[in-house]
């Protein structure tokens, strides 16, 4: 399972030597809208924006270690790290809950004069940041869009919790590995009453305490419990292998659990009082399409949001600004077909943002009138991220591109993503067959 690994690693380091990359005019670098001062600027090489590592690292707080013999830089944030080697198109990720793995870059790590640079797309594709290039400015932003921040920090309690549970986590200490797995797989979340920005998660035999810090969900404490009775083991403080700083708890919880085995899916909600007594609230069971119970609402009856941590202030207008458009820098495709599809997707989303029905239909297989709901007057799009280009599938003869976007509908802004599926028509021309 892929995840956000926000290591804040767009980093920079001094190294000897140089190669043939040239600056394409002054480009400004900002982090959350604040200019980053330094003697290195972003550059454009072969149509791609590259970020100076040191300037970005100083603004984002990552630690950097340089190995001149190996021509390698190691970037560390919390207990997670990424190794980058000049000239290579891969990055080695370590310290997450998964084994170490390599992730691909669209261009090699580069050295320009005495500076090391990485591609702009590296931020959003690998580390979860939103990176936008507009005019002469590159702006690195929190992984949370304005609409996500509005829900997470200032939204209704149930909606904020539902969103918090979907977000990937990062680790202040080396991640504790799960050592047992039963046939019934489940996750249990315990939110202190009134809170959405701090919670406990029990998965298998591992319990984790998660806090939101600077837009990231961070695990600050973990321990092992007996998987066969994990919730009771935790409530009775019967844990072992403890790592990190144990949270100060002592009040009641809202508890949400999701589990499955075979064709059965079950969601349960419970109230846990300060003494650890459990009272069932709701159960929603789906057994091979047969439904019983009510869908969860992610909060206790009558529960009021009251966070124990300070919340960021909402925008003065009370609503985030929204300007439709496309702020994605598209890379060159690996081959002619991928390049054609990327340009096709670019034309499609530009037409969507501009509400140009003729240009939009020209990119769709057979005209695709059933996609016209995307052009409704009440819907506006701001496309922000090229999240993934999936390998061409020779069996289905399709190529998928996932694009992140902000959508405004009926005055509400949300962040999501679409998968644009391209296929060749009878004339051998690439067209978009579906947008999901």
Predicted confidence (pLDDT) at residue 226 exceeds the cutoff of 80: yes
Q: For residue 49, what are its two tokens?
A: 């924006």
Phi, psi (rounded to 5 degrees) for 381: -125, 140
The position carrying tokens 């007057």 is 377
Q: Each residue of 31-84: pLDDT tens digit? A: 777 787 766 777 777 666 777 776 677 667 777 777 888 888 888 888 888 888
Tell me the domain boundaries of the chain: 28-141, 148-292, 325-435
User: Which residues lie below 8 Å from residue 243, measured CB to CB, with a gap of 6+?
Assistant: 173, 174, 176, 221, 222, 223
Please state the pTM of the whole predicted model.
0.65
Q: Each residue of 406-433: pLDDT tens digit? A: 888 766 667 777 889 999 999 999 999 9
DSSP state of 123: I
- pLDDT band, residue 14 (cuts 50/70/90): very low
| Lowest-confidence region among 77-86, 292-301, 336-345 | 77-86
Q: Length of the chain, please? A: 436
- CATH number of the domain located at residue range(s) 325-435 in this protein: 3.10.450.50
C-alpha span between 226 and 257 (Å, rounded)? 17
Q: What is the pLDDT of residue 420?
A: 92
Phi, psi (rounded to 5 degrees) for 352: -60, -45
CATH of 28-141, one of 3.40.630.30, 3.40.190.10, 3.30.457.10, 3.40.50.2000: 3.30.457.10
Query: Do 27 and 36 form a contact (C-beta atoms < 8 A)?
Result: no
């Amino acid at each position: 399972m892929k995840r956000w690994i926000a290591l804040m690693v767009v980093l920079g380091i001094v190294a000897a030597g140089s190669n043939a990359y040239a600056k394409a005019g002054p480009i400004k670098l900002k982090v959350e809208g604040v200019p980053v001062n330094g003697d290195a600027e972003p550059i454009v090489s072969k149509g791609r924006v590259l970020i100076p590592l040191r300037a970005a690292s100083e603004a984002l707080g990552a630690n950097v270690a340089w190995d001149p013999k190996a021509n390698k830089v190691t970037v560390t944030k919390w207990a997670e790290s990424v190794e980058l080697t000049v000239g290579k198109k891969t990055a080695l990720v370590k310290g997450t809950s998964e084994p170490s793995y390599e992730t691909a870059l669209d261009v090699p790590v580069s050295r320009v004069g005495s500076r090391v640079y990485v591609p702009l797309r590296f931020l959003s594709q690998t580390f979860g940041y939103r990176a936008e290039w507009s005019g002469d400015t590159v702006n690195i932003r929190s992984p949370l869009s304005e609409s996500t921040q509005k829900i997470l920090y200032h939204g209704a309690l149930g909606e904020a919790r539902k969103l918090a549970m979907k977000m990937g986590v990062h680790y202040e200490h080396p991640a504790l590995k799960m050592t047992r797995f039963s046939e019934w797989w489940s996750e249990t979340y315990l939110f202190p009453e009134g809170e959405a920005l701090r919670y406990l998660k029990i998965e298998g035999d591992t319990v984790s305490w998660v806090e939101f810090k600077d837009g990231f969900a961070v695990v600050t404490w973990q321990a092992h419990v007996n998987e066969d009775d994990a919730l009771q083991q935790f409530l009775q403080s019967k844990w072992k292998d403890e790592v990190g700083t144990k949270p100060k708890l002592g009040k009641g919880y809202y508890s949400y659990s999701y589990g499955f085995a075979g064709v059965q899916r079950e969601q349960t909600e419970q109230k846990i009082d300060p003494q650890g007594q459990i009272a069932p609230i709701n159960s929603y069971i789906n057994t091979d399409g047969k439904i019983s119970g009510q869908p969860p609402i992610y909060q206790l009856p009558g529960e009021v949001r009251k966070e124990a941590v300070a919340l960021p202030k909402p925008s003065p207008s009370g609503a985030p600004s929204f300007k439709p458009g496309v702020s994605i820098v598209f890379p060159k495709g690996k081959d002619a077909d991928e390049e054609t599809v990327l340009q096709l997707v670019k034309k499609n989303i530009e037409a969507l943002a501009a509400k140009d029905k003729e240009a939009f239909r020209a990119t769709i297989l057979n005209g695709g009138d059933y996609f016209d709901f995307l052009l409704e007057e009440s819907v506006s799009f701001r496309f922000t991220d090229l999240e993934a280009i999936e390998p061409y599938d020779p069996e289905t003869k399709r190529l998928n591109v996932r694009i992140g976007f902000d959508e405004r509908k009926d005055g509400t802004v949300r962040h999501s993503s679409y998968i644009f599926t391209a296929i060749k028509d009878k004339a051998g021309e690439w067209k978009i067959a579906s947008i999901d």
